[in-house]
Structure 1
Amino acid sequence: MFSLRRWCLLALSLAGVLVDAKSSTGDSVLVVVDPAQQDNYSIFFNGLKDQGYELTFRSPKVEKPVIIEDNVSNFAHVILLAPEAKNLGKDITPQSIVELLSLKTNVVVALPTKQSPLHALAAEFSLILPPPGSPLISYSPKRDTPSTLIPISVEDHSSPVLTKHIRPVWFSGIPQALGNNPLLIPILRAPAESFASEVTVTSGSAEALVDAAEKGGEGLWAGSSLSAVTGFQATNGARITFVGGAEVFSDELAQKEAEQYVQSGNIDFVKEVAAWTFQENLVLRIEKVEHHLVNGTEPKETYTINDNVEFSAYISKWNPAKGEWQPYSGLKDLQLEFTMLDPFVRTALPPVNGAPGKYSTAFRAPDRHGVFKFVINHKRKGWSFLESSTTVPVVPPRHDGYPRFLSAAWPYYAGAISTSVAFFLFSTIWLAGEARDSKKGKAAKSE
């Protein structure tokens, strides 16, 4: 029986879940879960329903409703909460889940401790899992729970996915070692004193760690380099989250105290994980881009070398509370590149004061003609990617576009003028001399 104070703490935690929030990609969710286990996750499911999501439940052994039909996904999001199921249906395979991401469907996957096709799915995303039957184990802090049930402290700003302070989270499952894929995002790190062993140990003993270390190779997985919950964002914006164990979503751990009279952070944590995976949080898009000459307003189809060009981009961020896109000026590291194969100009694209969502910069076009591109390529962990490419040609000046006189060419001008004047004077003197000689000759003959 829970004490009255404990129920009050649970009610306060649930109050944060009941805030209406919308996904930027849709509200339809397919939940693959064993019907016998469905009630174990009622707090999590009810929280999604209260946010406005439409949940459709499906047994792992049933193949309807179909996830993908005629190369179109029937759901905006999929949750796989059947880690122990041996058969997930013909349409739930590592290949089909990868295809779901290509169709911009977001996925939450609870990984099993035993060998499963989902282990092969994790490998597709550069996640390395410990050998089957190797849960995460920790004997610190001292507690009366099994060593496989671990309270993990969540530091503020430890992951861009977690946007607020979260109390310790109860975790039971397997860790993941992260590969070199830059698209991986660790959400919940394993404690530094934890390790995964091939032998499940329920009673605290330091000998278990020594035995695991003596095996070498895959015998020892330890330290905070491991991740208990890992996210992955595809280049098209779709997101998938791998959770080391389905128990994180359970009502039991949601209602369990992390410390005396301190409610666990599981409710807030799974809400944050779902909000990021379902593209409620950290979602940006480029509304439009503009380019024109400095002090001009009309865009030009071509630019001339050394033109002063102004480029602007308008960026919005998804507001899940209002369910709409709103101008966003919070990016401080946005850059613009003016490229022709390689960047000729790379400059900061800062926000414009007094113009929400507008980022603008001015630069001089390079002294090189060709086909150039205005390129924005902003990729930060946790945030949706911003990519834009606008092609414009840069041409030399027209025949009447050059200045009539160049200051650098005055020595040549002076040389040409002096030569012309000298030639005129020489010709005048020469002709005048011939005329005088001819008159003298005529006068001499007449005499």
Structure 2
Amino acid sequence: KFGEKNYDHLIIFAPSVEEFGGSITVEEITRFVDEGGNLLVAGGSNLGNAIRELALQHGFEFDESDTMVIDHHNYDGILDDGHHTTIVANKLQLLKAQLVVGETAKMNDVLFKGVAMIAHKNNRLRLDVLRATSTAYSYNPTAAMEEYPGALGQQILLIGAMQARNNARVVFTGSLDMFSDVYMSANVRKMGEGGEAVQSGNFQLLTALSKWVFKESGVLRVKKVEHHLAGTKEVPREYTIMDEVEYAIEIEELRDGKWRPFDQKDVQLEFVRIDPFVRTTLSAKNGRFSTRFKLPDVYGVYKFLVDYRRVGYTHLYDVQQVQLHKPGFSPGEAQQPGVDQTGL
């Protein structure tokens, strides 16, 4: 309303819906994401056109209605009804990103029952959160196999996600059952394996995934940026070529509802005109990332640029523009005809 979102997040757990009704359409939901809203969608074997079209808008495609993921080697010996569609997925099939999927070292097998999904090859923003095994395929479990399956093996996504360029987050899965109390509390025993049944990892996985998609984890922000001549706190109007400068950026991460110092050691700075003249990894201490370097001997307009992109984190981008001049430059020279201050 009045250019502002009424809600930050949207959950759609209505797999069979053919249309959303009222003013809610696939186009409106897509616009919601384009404006920074976050989206969580669960499908199922009885999939309606609305969910199918919505997935296509975000680079994912569900298989035909009445089909399900089938795996004769990886199904649950307790809940499965004989069609081998209650899939048991292990932690090795998960995306290697703790922010998105949680701590997999302590995670038990996950239960999935639903429709297969594939990602478009040109969907470069996608995250393959949970893949099927090489023995899985997609077909109608009650029909005789008369044609090639719609999807095979690790081509099949059980859960897919995307972080858009505006940092909006989207998650699609083909299984609404994954979120049910039955699956979250179920004891799992993969058919053919001995030992005691153990509680499924659904609760742990979906808790972490929900926190991620609703931006309760993996969110970064810039608290403060500063640059100045080395050894001083002076920020000159313009820098001179070959000056020694110090640069620092303070970054915070949202954890447990509070902004805390970002704790990583791979943040880099580029000092760029057209191409980077300097690229260096910043020294990290309690969320403050800093460096000291000598400016290049070519004058012109430059940028201190931090462009931090890591799986699971929001895209952090900060630019500070400065001018470099030759020694003895005076501002009046910029007004003289024929004097080129670009360095090009």
Q: Which TM bucket (shorter chain)?
A: 0.7 to 0.9
TM-score by length of 2: 0.85
* Partner AA of 1:164 in structure 2: E
Aligned residue number for residue 101 of structure 2: 162
**1:239 aligned to 169, 182, 187, which one?**
169
Secondary structure of the residue aligned to 2:210 is helix
Aligned residue number for residue 149 of structure 1: 86
Indicate the structure with greater strand content. Answer: 2
**1:361 aligned to 253, 266, 291, which one?**
291
Structure 1 position 126 matched with structure 2 position 59: yes
Map 1:342-381; keep pairs closer than 5 Å. Answer: 342-352=275-285, 356-381=286-311
Map 1:328-343; keep pairs closer than 5 Å. Answer: 328-330=262-264, 332-343=265-276
User: 1:399 & 1:325 partners in 2: Cα distance?
Assistant: 43
Secondary structure of the residue aligned to 2:323 is strand
Secondary structure of the residue aligned to 2:91 is coil
**2:243 aligned to 295, 307, 329, which one?**
307
Relative distance call for 1:156 and 1:88 in structure 2 (3 A) is closer
The C-alpha deviation readout for 1:330-356, integer Å capped at 9, x for no partner, is 2x221111111222222212313xxx1
Relative distance call for 1:310 and 1:86 in structure 2 (3 A) is same
User: 1:279 & 1:138 partners in 2: Cα distance?
Assistant: 33
Q: CA deviation at 1:316?
A: 0.7
Q: CA deviation at 1:156?
A: 8.6
User: 1:115 & 1:187 partners in 2: Cα distance?
Assistant: 23
TM-score by length of 1: 0.66
Map 1:247-262; keep pairs closer than 5 Å. Answer: 247-259=177-189, 260-262=196-198
User: 1:151 & 1:342 partners in 2: Cα distance?
Assistant: 49
Secondary structure of the residue aligned to 1:72 is coil
Aligned residue number for residue 16 of structure 2: 84
Q: CA deviation at 1:277?
A: 0.6
The 8 Å contact of residues 253 and 261 in structure 2, kept in 1 or not, is answered as yes
Relative distance call for 1:309 and 1:157 in structure 2 (3 A) is farther
Q: CA deviation at 1:94?
A: 2.3
Q: CA deviation at 1:290?
A: 0.8
The C-alpha deviation readout for 1:237-282, integer Å capped at 9, x for no partner, is 2211111121111122122211244111111121111111111112
Secondary structure of the residue aligned to 2:172 is strand
**1:392 aligned to 322, 339, 343, which one?**
322
**2:6 aligned to 74, 83, 103, which one?**
74
Aligned residue number for residue 336 of structure 2: none
Secondary structure of the residue aligned to 2:314 is coil
**1:107 aligned to 36, 39, 55, which one?**
39
The 8 Å contact of residues 183 and 381 in structure 1, kept in 2 or not, is answered as no
Moved over 6 A (4+): none
* Partner AA of 2:311 in structure 1: K
* Partner AA of 2:141 in structure 1: V
Q: CA deviation at 1:394?
A: 0.7
Relative distance call for 1:119 and 1:77 in structure 2 (3 A) is same
The 8 Å contact of residues 291 and 300 in structure 1, kept in 2 or not, is answered as no
Equivalent pairs, count: 314
Aligned residue number for residue 413 of structure 1: none
**1:181 aligned to 110, 114, 123, which one?**
123
Aligned residue number for residue 62 of structure 1: none
**1:319 aligned to 252, 255, 270, which one?**
255
The 8 Å contact of residues 158 and 174 in structure 2, kept in 1 or not, is answered as yes
Aligned residue number for residue 94 of structure 1: 26
Aligned residue number for residue 135 of structure 2: 193
Map 1:404-415; keep pairs closer than 5 Å. Answer: none
The 8 Å contact of residues 93 and 132 in structure 2, kept in 1 or not, is answered as no
The 8 Å contact of residues 112 and 175 in structure 2, kept in 1 or not, is answered as yes
User: 1:238 & 1:303 partners in 2: Cα distance?
Assistant: 38
Secondary structure of the residue aligned to 1:221 is coil
Larger radius of gyration: 1
Cα RMSD for the two superposed structures: 2.1
User: 2:231 & 2:41 partners in 1: Cα distance?
Assistant: 53
Q: CA deviation at 1:358?
A: 0.5
